[in-house]
């Protein structure tokens, strides 16, 4: 239970930090530290921490901008699935806790995490668009910004927390 509370709190605080530098609207930023925190937690603690990721994502999205309860819920699902899927794939592919020991492990880490972040970017943008919070002319730019923000958060924070 303490892990869940700590992860929820860390996710929420890091999310507010990231959203203090918005890229498009109030929910899209080019710097999203919570994803790196969430991926590291999922790699270290496994599935037992997924609820903490979800709760942190839900709370930060519910308290930012205009999203409704359902939009915040939808975004939180994507924000949870992306690091959870990335962690599962990394454990299956690399298999050890030392994800940065060999050059090929580093490349695998980058490719898998970049690929898994497609889940949160796509889900989040579709949720904002279909709930009327993002205009169609901004969808591609917003999607790319969301995806890059997730990747930057992972590339900065996950290695620091895993080291």
Kindly tell me if the per-residue pLDDT of 23 is higher than 90. no
Quick one: which of 19, 57, 25 has its CA closest to 38?
Answer: 57
Quick one: which of 139, 13, 128 has its CA closest to 73?
Answer: 128
Distance CA 30, CA 146 (A): 6
In percent, the amount of the chain with pLDDT more than 70 equals 99
The rounded Cα 88 to chain-centroid distance in angstroms is: 15
Q: How does pLDDT run across 41-76, given as a tens digit for each residue?
A: 999 999 999 999 999 999 999 998 777 899 999 999
Quick one: which of 29, 22, 150 has its CA closest to 85?
Answer: 150
Distance CA 9, CA 29 (A): 19
Average pLDDT for the chain: 93
CATH for 2-162?
A: 1.10.1760.20
Question: Residue 108's CB: how many other CB atoms inside 10 A?
Answer: 16
- pTM for this predicted structure: 0.92
pLDDT at 99: 73
**Extents of the domains making up the chain:** 2-162
pLDDT at 101: 81
């Amino acid at each position: 239970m303490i892990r869940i509370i700590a992860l929820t709190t860390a996710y929420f605080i890091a999310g507010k930090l990231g959203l203090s530098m918005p890229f498009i609207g109030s929910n899209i930023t080019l710097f999203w530290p919570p994803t790196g925190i969430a991926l590291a937690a999922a790699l270290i603690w496994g599935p037992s921490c997924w609820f903490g990721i979800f709760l942190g994502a839900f709370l930060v999205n519910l308290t930012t901008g205009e999203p409704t309860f359902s939009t915040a819920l939808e975004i939180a699902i994507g924000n949870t699935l992306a690091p959870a899927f990335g962690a599962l794939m990394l454990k299956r592919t690399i298999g050890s806790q030392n994800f940065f020991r060999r050059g090929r492990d580093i490349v695998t880490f980058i490719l898998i995490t970049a690929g898994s972040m497609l889940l949160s970017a796509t889900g989040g943008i579709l949720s904002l668009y279909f709930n009327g919070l993002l205009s169609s002319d901004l969808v591609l730019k917003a999607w790319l910004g969301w995806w890059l923000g997730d990747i930057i958060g992972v590339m900065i924070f996950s290695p620091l927390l895993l080291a």
